[in-house]
Amino acid sequence: MELNWTRVLWWDTRKLSEPVETLILDIEKKGRIENALGAMSLEYEPTMPTKFMVGTEQGRIISCNRKGKNDAEKIGSVFPGHWGPVYALQRHPNFTKNFLSVGDWTVRIWSEELRDDCIMWTKPSMHTITDAQWSPTRSSIFYTTKMDGTLDVWDILFKQNEPTLSMQVVDEPLHCLRVQESQGRLIACGSQNGTVTLVEVSDNLCTQGKSEKTLVSGMFDRETRRAKILEARGRAKRDARTKSAQGEKGEKPTTEGGTGESDLKEADPIDKAEKDFWKIIEEEKRRRDRKFVADDEKAAGESGAVTDGELTANATT
């Protein structure tokens, strides 16, 4: 498989004179080359032989399936992606419905269940991020290369606002990286001048903990549910505004089923979750305050008992 600007080409090694199949990246599904988006990156997972993804120069991420009979059927979901070019794409090796993308100085993590927004993202970097790859042996870790020549290690279970580890590999821009598939210990980094630097990481970065995979799965599921709730909330508010605008134009808005703004607010799961969260926090604070008071009283009682004992002993002496 190969990217050729606005097309995806399939090749047979037994016949390299011309591609055996071509897909025009027209997200309007009309097969027009003038409407096609420019391809920047390609993702192919061997365990899903008919599926692949393409990152475009316009920032869109296109999910495709070769099983389709024509171009319209081969182009599936289209994700908003980034504002600028998508430099890298990769599915998670353990959770294939989740994938990461690189663009706009950030790394974003997506779920195939959501098309409107990502579920996690890093804050913008001071230097352009050029590539990213998941660790094949640690579910929570991915690596990134940047234009300042650094290799960053991200552990999403440890912290998400900054890299867990950052190392200066070379004094020139790094453009790509590949992680050793079998052990995840060696990382090859390719620089702007054609130099390949091999980096070896410690055991902690390539040996997975007992519950790490379960925790990452839970994190992805939780963030996906949160994003779905926000998506549904936004869709409901847009519908309410549309009906309100229709009412101002003299059209009778449909109010059955409680679609007004007040009803939406009352049924808003985000507000309810936030109230429940702060309620739990307050209860925990009160519980801890009671515990501190009890501990202080206990300590004071023990101190008083020791003092009385010492006085009795001194008096006897």
Name the H helices within the chain. Answer: 71-74, 212-248, 261-266, 269-316
Q: What would the 3-class secondary structure string for 163-203 be?
A: CCEEEECCCCCEEEEEECCCCCCEEEEEECCCCEEEEECCH
* C-alpha dihedral sign at 136, 159, 224, 217: positive
Cα distance between residue 227 and residue 79, in whole Å: 14
Residues found in the chain: 317
pTM over 0.85: no
Contact 99, 92 (CB under 8 A): yes
Note down pLDDT in tens along the chain; length 317 residues: 667 678 899 999 998 889 988 899 999 888 888 889 999 999 988 888 889 999 999 999 999 998 888 888 899 999 999 999 999 999 999 999 999 999 999 999 999 999 889 999 999 999 999 999 999 999 999 999 999 999 999 999 999 889 999 999 999 999 999 999 989 999 999 999 999 999 999 999 999 988 999 999 999 999 999 988 888 888 888 888 888 777 766 655 444 444 444 444 445 666 777 777 778 778 877 887 787 777 777 777 766 654 444 434 444 44
Q: Is the domain defined by 2-203 classed in CATH 3.30.559.10?
A: no
